[in-house]
Structures are given as structure tokens and as C-alpha cells.
Amino acid sequence: MDTNKLYLYLRDTYSLDEVSRSLLRNVIDYAERSCSFDKELIEGDIREMIGNALDWCEDDVIAHEPLAIKDVGKRWIGDTRYEVTQSMYIGGTEILLGINMDAEDGNFYLVYTCKSNTLFTEYADGATNDYIKALEDFIGRVGDAATALREKEIDLPLTLITAEQCFRLSSDLSIEGKIVAIKPEVLHPEYRQEQHQLVLVTGGFGANASSRGRAVYCTHLNTGEETRYSRESVLGVMKELPEWARERFEMLQDAKLPEREHVGKYRIIEKIGVGNTIFALGHNPIAVQPYGTWIGNKKSPGIYDWGHYFNSHDAAKLDLQKRAENRQQAIDTPPHGGGR
């Protein structure tokens, strides 16, 4: 999707003033660089965010001279007249080198560093009339961004997760609560490593079986950061996890949910009480059968037995309800030959 052409078209169609044009440019930049680096989500997010931005700008527009047709398709730095001639995106930062030979102050060359950590892109700029100086500045900023990214990297294997290491992802499979690998081609080159591919799926309509929704919400195992992908970006459910990923998953569980009960390495995520009996449903995404149900007693907290194990949350949920219903029916039905 040519986002610069889209910006130019919208800017001229809606005759936006300088403030509104800047807002629109920032919104498009943010949508393009964000979305957890998931290219398949970018276009939809841009359309939604632009709609909101134009609503905000609608009552605050003035007419201006449209750009010449020859400019359509070019990319500019922010809302300036500096045309982008070189760009490098690395680690959430984009460094741009632009040229404007009509600059009134004689500074024909501009280097920009853009960081899209918030809705409004942060810019750090340097203008000069010396092209070699601008080029050196551009190269230096790229080097600094690469160094900063390297310092944040965890000392883990640089290998890629492949389809052979995953269970095939079918439309009728729920992936909520499972550890999945993201397709390397949807990640920026600097993130094409197994440590960036492995995520724990925490929700989203796209995580459900046979769902029309596509969004999948996740937590990165290597950093604990929350993110989002589309279901099409998921390579598959991991068959076996690298040792580092097992350790990170356990650390995430301990840090986020220390108050939760466990049955072995299964974390209890749901309970139903019937009389003095407790029926529990647990989850362990690194187990062969990641879901299970057990029976416990209110008089002996934390002690569970009689486990049933399943491959899906839906099957375990059904078993949990069935066990609880059977127990309730036993309580409601008097023994044969006894009672009135």
C-alpha cells in the first residue's frame, strides 16, 4: 500500500490546513510503522485511523494549492518539501534522508529520525547545505539504531522456526492459550529470529476456532511485551519449545499470575463448586495435552485428583461442565430405596 500517495490524495481532497495535514501524516506514519510489524493489519488500521483523523479535522480546513501531478507517488519527510531519497527502518526507528533543492534557507538536505512509540510520531531532525555531512549523519544514525537494537537483544540462537516444527494451523483450531510461531516473512529483517517469532496467544477473535475475526493478541516470550498479529501471520502451534522458551513461559506465568493455583504445571483458570466438591480446569501450553480438568474438595484446598486431559479448551470446558452437572444431579437425586 503506497501510504505517501494516500496521504497526498487525502491532503488535497480535503484541503487540510497545516496543523491538520501534520496530524494526518503522523496518523498514517504511526499506522504504517506500528501494528506489531504485521503487514497484513496495516491497511485496515490506516483506514480506521484516517477516518478518525479526518473527522477531527473536518471543521478546521482551509483551501490551498494542490500539489502538481508529478509529485504524486513521491514520499516526503513529515509535512515538509524534502523528498525522501534514502530510508532505513530498524528496531522501531526509521531514519530518513531528504532533499529539497528549493529550500529557502539554503539547507537543501535533511536527516530525520522518526520514532513511532505513540500516536504522534517523534521527529529529531538535522538540516544542512552539505550533502556529505547529511550522508554521514544518516549513516551515523543508522549505526546508532543498530547498536541500540543489538544491546537489547537477548543472547539466544539466531535460528528461524520453520513449518516442520509446528502443528498445521487449521480454521477449526482454537489457538488461545497456545504458544505459536509467527511467520518470519511478516517480521522486519532484524526480528527474523526464533526469539521474536515465539508468542503466547492471549485472546482476540482470530484466536478462536472457525471465527471470522482475524486479530490475535499475544505476549512475546522473549520480552513479555504484548502485541498483535493477524491469524494469517501465524505459522503454527509449536510442537516442542526450545529450553529458553520453556523457562520464559514459566517466568511469565509466575510474574503475572502468582496468586493462581496449579495442578502440577497446569495453571487453574476456571473452577466450579458443587456442594463441597470443586471441579477445576487448568492450562499448560507446553504440555502435549495443554488442558485438563480435576476434582477437589473445599475441605482440602489446593489438592486435586482424577485428571482428564484434552487438546482444546472447548473440549476441557465441556468436560468441566459435564462433571459438575453429574455431581449436581447426584446431589439432587435421592438414593434408590431411601428418602421419601
Nearest 10 degrees: CA dihedral of 44, 197, 4, 116?
100
> Is the CB of residue 52 less than 8 Å from the CB of residue 38?
no
Question: Is 90 exceeded by the pLDDT of residue 115?
Answer: no
| Structural domain range at position 195 | 163-249
**Which grid coordinates belong to 201?**
496467544
Rounded average pLDDT over 194-207: 88
- Run of H or E residues at 309: strand 300-310
Q: What is the pLDDT of residue 225?
A: 84
Q: What is the pLDDT of residue 191?
A: 86
> Is the CB of residue 198 less than 8 Å from the CB of residue 245?
yes
Phi and psi, residue 195, nearest 5°: -65, -25
Question: Is 60 exceeded by the pLDDT of residue 200?
Answer: yes
Q: What is the pLDDT of residue 138?
A: 94
Q: What is the pLDDT of residue 262?
A: 84
**CA 228/CA 54 separation, integer angstroms:** 25
**CA 78/CA 128 separation, integer angstroms:** 17
CATH of the domain at 304: 3.30.67
Question: Is 70 exceeded by the pLDDT of residue 71?
Answer: no
Considering the domain boundaries, does residue 337 fall inside one?
Answer: no
Domains of the chain: total = 3
**CA 324/CA 322 separation, integer angstroms:** 5
**CB neighbourhood size of 67 (10 A):** 15
Residues 31, 143, single domain; the answer is: yes
Question: Is 50 exceeded by the pLDDT of residue 118?
Answer: no
Q: What is the pLDDT of residue 5?
A: 55
Residues 147, 44, single domain; the answer is: yes
Half-sphere exposure of 325 (CA within 13 A, CB side): 6
How would residue 340 be classed by pLDDT, with cut points 50, 70 and 90?
Answer: very low
Task: Please tell me whether residue 312 adopts helix, strand or coil conformation.
Answer: coil
Q: What is the pLDDT of residue 106?
A: 92
Residues 55, 130, single domain; the answer is: yes
Question: Is 70 exceeded by the pLDDT of residue 171?
Answer: yes
Considering the domain boundaries, does residue 16 fall inside one?
Answer: yes
Residues 43, 181, single domain; the answer is: no
Considering the domain boundaries, does residue 255 fall inside one?
Answer: no
Q: Percent of the chain, pLDDT > 70?
A: 70
Dump strand ranges (E) for 18-108: 83-90, 93-99
Please name the residue that has the C-alpha cell 483458570.
Answer: 269
**Which grid coordinates belong to 26?**
503522523
Residues 119, 18, single domain; the answer is: yes
Residues 143, 33, single domain; the answer is: yes
- Maximum separation of any 2 CA atoms in the chain, in Å: 103
**Which grid coordinates belong to 250?**
514459566
Of 117-121, 250-254, 273-277, where does mean pLDDT reach its minimum?
117-121
Considering the domain boundaries, does residue 158 fall inside one?
Answer: no
Considering the domain boundaries, does residue 254 fall inside one?
Answer: no
Residues 127, 191, single domain; the answer is: no
Model confidence pTM above 0.75: no
3-state percent breakdown (helix, strand, coil) of the chain, nearest 5 = 35, 30, 35
Residues 318, 202, single domain; the answer is: no
How would residue 163 be classed by pLDDT, with cut points 50, 70 and 90?
Answer: very high
Q: Percent of the chain, pLDDT > 90?
A: 23
